[in-house]
Structure 1
C-alpha cells in the first residue's frame, strides 16, 4: 500500500508532519545503559562515540554532545578522533536496533495522524491533514510532539508543511517549530524556504558537493536557475544543470526532481507503516502446573488455538515463542524457529516437546503463552496429503525442523555459491530452505579440489625446482615427494576488500609419490615489495 501526496491537489490541502530524531542512535544507547538521571541532553556524560568495524578500522557512526565538543565527527575514523582526544570512549553501534526503534515510534506516532511513514535512518512522516484542531492548532500539535518525545528521553525537531519534502527541510534546517501555513504552494512556499541550504533537498552527499561547486548553496539559488533565465549566463547555467542531472533516475541524485517534490509539482510516494498484531494465545490456569504431563496437555491446546489463529489470517508460523510464568515470578521462555511456514499443531507440539526437557516448575506454572513472532503467508493446502507425507517421513521441512531442534540452530545448513574468485570466499552457508542469493559465480578454468581446508596450512618446502614449484615438502610432520605438477593458476587479491600488502597466489595441483593429490600455493613473488620470502601453503586435498 502506498499513498501519493501532492500539495497542489485542489480537493484537499495536505499537511505533513516531519519528525527528525536528531540523535536517535545516541539516545537509544543512553537509554540502553539504564541511566536516565543525565536527562535527554546527556549532561555530565563523557565524550562517547558509537563505532562500526570496517576493513580499515573502526569508523564513527554517531557522536554524543560531549564527543562533538572534543572534535569527533560522524564518518571519522576512530584513530583520527582519538588523535584529537585520546580518552574518547566507544560503544558498538546497532543500526538494526535503531531501525526497530524507529518502526515502533512510527506506530506510536499515529496518535497525531491517521497514518505515518518511515524516513530512514532517523526520521518519521505523519499525515496531520485536518487533525490539528483536535490539539488546538498546529502550534500546539508541535508542542505536544516535543513534549511526548521528551518524556521518552528522545531529542527531536519537527516541522509541518504541505509536502513531505518541505516538512523535512523545515525539521532539519529550519527554525525550531517551523510551519508553512496553508495555502502555500509554488512561489509562496519557495520564498519561505529560499534561505535554507541546498542539503535541505534530501540529496546524496556527492550531489550536494557538486551544487556547492556550482555556487548553488541555497534553495533560492537553485530555484532561480530551474525556474527560468533572465540572462545569457543564467541560461547557460540552467542548461548545464539539466544536462548534468538529466539521466539520474533516483530522486536523491537529482536536485531538480527533489525541488519539484518539495514544491508539490510532482507527487511523492509515501509508504505508510501498518501495525500488525502477531497471533498470540495463552492459558491462565486455575491451579499451578507442576507435572510435565499437564504442561504437555496445555501446550497441545495452545498449538490448536494457534493453528486456528494462523488459519484465520492465512499465515503460517516461522518463529514461535513459548512463555511460562511461574508462581514465584520467574519467566521461562523457549523459542522455536522453523525451516518453513507451518500451522500444523501436531508438528508444533512435537518440536516444543523436546525443548521442555528439564523445565523446573518450582511452585508451579500459572500462565502459559504461545506467540508467533514471525509469520508468513501460507495458502490453504490439502491436509491429508501433508499428513501422509509426515507419516511416511517425506516432509523435508518437518525433517529439517526436527534435526534443528536436536542438533542446534546452526548445525543444519547448506552451501551456496558466492561471487568471488578467492577459493575461501567462493561459497557461504545459509539456512537449508532459504532461497539462494542471486550471485554471479566466476567461470573457473581449473578444477577445484574435493576438500578445501577451512584455513590454508603452512608447509615447509625442503627442495624447490628451478621452475618454482616444490619437489619435496613437509606437511603435518610427513615428507612428501612430488611426482606430478599442474599449474600454476594465478589468483590476484581482491583489491576492493583486501589491504594493499596482500600478496597474490600461484596455485599448483600436485600428486606425490604415493598417489595422493593436493592443492598448494605460493603466497607472493620474490621482489614484489609486499613482504619477505614467499611462503607456501596447502589449501585443499583432491583425493
Structure 2
C-alpha cells in the first residue's frame, strides 16, 4: 500500500505581493517606510485585507477598520484589494503546481494542495522537494510556507502553524503541541474550547470522544473540531477535489512542402475545429492561429468573439484580415488552430419568419471592429456606484465585459466629462458664492445664469484623510455655452488654503 503524501503550500502574503507586482508595471511603488494596506468591504465599512511589511511593523493587521487605522497613521496608503484576481491567480497556480504531482487543488483563498506520493525521489527526497517548491515560487515573487504530511489537514496545519515541515504516516505527535486555532474552527468554537481548557490539539485528542460529541453535535462539519481532527489524523477520509486538466481544443495540418500563404488551408481547419466543439456542446470565445515557419520560428494571430461562436465562416472573416502582415520567411509547413477559451453553446432554432438576430449582428460587428482596430479601440462604459463623477464610469474592452446598468442619479449630469478636470481662475463672492466670472484656456467668460451648488463629499472609505469636498455649479455663459464647474474646498475647512476651482464637464 502506497503511503499518502500531501504537500500543503501556503501563501501568507499573496494579495500584497501580487499587488506589488501588478502596480510596478503601471506606476511607482510607495516608499519602503510608507505603510500600505489593501482594503475590502466589511460589515461597518472598509477593513484591512492585506498589509505590507511597513504596515505590519506598525501593528496594522488584517480585519482592522480603515478609518481607525488612518486616524492613527495619517500617511497610510490604501489601495482596493483585487480578491477575484487573487483567486484567479491561485486557480492558475493549481495547474502550474502539477510539476510536483499529478493531483492538485486550491486550499481556500491562500493555499494549494499537491499529492506528491511517489514523487519525492525525483527531487532527491522530500526536504529537497520542499526547497524546490519554495525556490520556484520565490522566483515569481511569492513567499510560501510548505509542509508534507499523510493527510491534507495535517499538512495544512503544519504549513500555517507548525515548526516541523515533514511528518511520517502518523502526524499526531507533531500536531499535539499546536494550538486548536490550527484547526481553523472559527472564533466562537475557539472560545468554547478555551473555556473547556482544551488549548492544544493534543489536549483535544486526549479527551474521551463521547463527552464532546453532544456538545459539538450541532456545529457544521467545516467548523466541527472533532471532524476536522479526525481528518487531520487520517481517521476520516479527506480526498482532494482536484480539478480536471484543461482540454486543449486544437487542430493541425502538416504540409508536405512549405507554402507562402496559409489562407487556403484555413477553411478545413475551421470546419474541423467547429465539428469537434459541436460534439461536446461548446463554442469558442477566443481563437489562436499559429503558423510555423520552416526556419523554426512561428507567427501567431489571436481573435476573440463578443459571444460564443462555432461558425466557421465568421472565424475565417476575423482571421483573414490579420494574415496580410505575416512574414512568411521561407514558407510555412505546419498550421494550428486552437480555441483558447470555450463556453457552452446550445443549438438554436432559427425563426420561421426569416428575421435576423439583432444580437448576433451586433456581436459580429464588435468582432470585426475589434479584429481590425484592436481590443482597446472598441469599448463601452462600465458603471460603478460612486458619488464622485470620475469614478462612476470607466471604459472597458467590449469583448471582455458586459455593459452594466447605469446608476440612478437624481441630479442632471453633463454629456461630456473631461478626463482630468482643468483648473480655472474664478471671480466669486466669498466664502461660498457662485462663480460670476472665470478664465478658461486664457479666455474670460462671464456667467449669465447658474444653478447649484450640488455638494459632493469625499468618500471616506476610499479617499485619503484631508480630502476636500466639492461644490458643483451648472454655469451658462453669455455666448450660451454651459459648463460644469466645481469649487474644491471652502474657506476655513481646515483642509487647505484658498479653495480651487475646476471645469469638469460640458452640457448640451
1:424 to 361, 383, 390: 390
CA distance in structure 1 between the partners assigned to 2:471 and 2:417 by the alignment: 16
CA-CA distance at 1:194 after TM superposition: 2.3
Deviation readout 1:351-376 (Å, 9 max, x if unpaired): 11101112211111111111111111
Does structure 2 retain, via aligned residues, the 8 Å contact 1:142–1:158? no
CA distance in structure 2 between the partners assigned to 1:141 and 1:212 by the alignment: 44
2:298 to 320, 331, 335: 331
TM-score, normalised with respect to structure 1: 0.68
Secondary structure of the 1:529 match is coil
Q: Which one is further off, 118-127 or 263-272?
A: 263-272
Alignment-derived partner of residue 159 in structure 1: 148
Q: Which one is further off, 256-265 or 411-420?
A: 256-265
CA distance in structure 2 between the partners assigned to 1:206 and 1:52 by the alignment: 38
The alpha-carbon distance between structure 1 residues 51 and 520, as it changes in their structure 2 partners (threshold 3 A), is: closer
1:273 to 233, 243, 249: 243
Query: Does residue 279 of structure 2 align to residue 312 of structure 1?
Result: yes
The alpha-carbon distance between structure 1 residues 475 and 382, as it changes in their structure 2 partners (threshold 3 A), is: same
CA distance in structure 2 between the partners assigned to 1:311 and 1:215 by the alignment: 61
Secondary structure of the 2:153 match is helix
Secondary structure of the 1:179 match is coil
Q: Which one is further off, 118-127 or 199-208?
A: 199-208
Query: Does residue 408 of structure 2 align to residue 408 of structure 1?
Result: no
The alpha-carbon distance between structure 1 residues 323 and 435, as it changes in their structure 2 partners (threshold 3 A), is: closer
Does structure 1 retain, via aligned residues, the 8 Å contact 2:94–2:104? no
Unmatched segments (≥5 aa) in structure 2: 39-49, 59-81, 138-144
The alpha-carbon distance between structure 1 residues 500 and 250, as it changes in their structure 2 partners (threshold 3 A), is: farther
CA-CA distance at 1:276 after TM superposition: 2.4
The alpha-carbon distance between structure 1 residues 519 and 210, as it changes in their structure 2 partners (threshold 3 A), is: farther
Alignment-derived partner of residue 440 in structure 2: 475
Does structure 1 retain, via aligned residues, the 8 Å contact 2:9–2:159? no
Does structure 2 retain, via aligned residues, the 8 Å contact 1:461–1:473? yes
Alignment-derived partner of residue 263 in structure 2: 296
The alpha-carbon distance between structure 1 residues 431 and 258, as it changes in their structure 2 partners (threshold 3 A), is: farther
CA-CA distance at 1:105 after TM superposition: 3.9
Secondary structure of the 2:426 match is strand
Secondary structure of the 1:520 match is strand
Alignment-derived partner of residue 194 in structure 1: 176
TM-score, normalised with respect to structure 2: 0.72
Instruction: State how 1:33-432 maps to structure 2 within 5 Å.
Output: 59=36, 75-77=52-54, 99=90, 102-105=93-96, 107-108=98-99, 111=102, 115-119=103-107, 123-125=111-113, 135=118, 154=136, 157-162=146-151, 164-172=152-160, 173=162, 175-181=164-170, 193-202=175-184, 218-220=200-202, 256-257=223-224, 260-264=227-231, 271-290=241-260, 292=261, 295-382=262-349, 389=356, 395-432=361-398
Query: Does residue 1 of structure 2 align to residue 18 of structure 1?
Result: no
Query: Does residue 476 of structure 2 align to residue 535 of structure 1?
Result: no
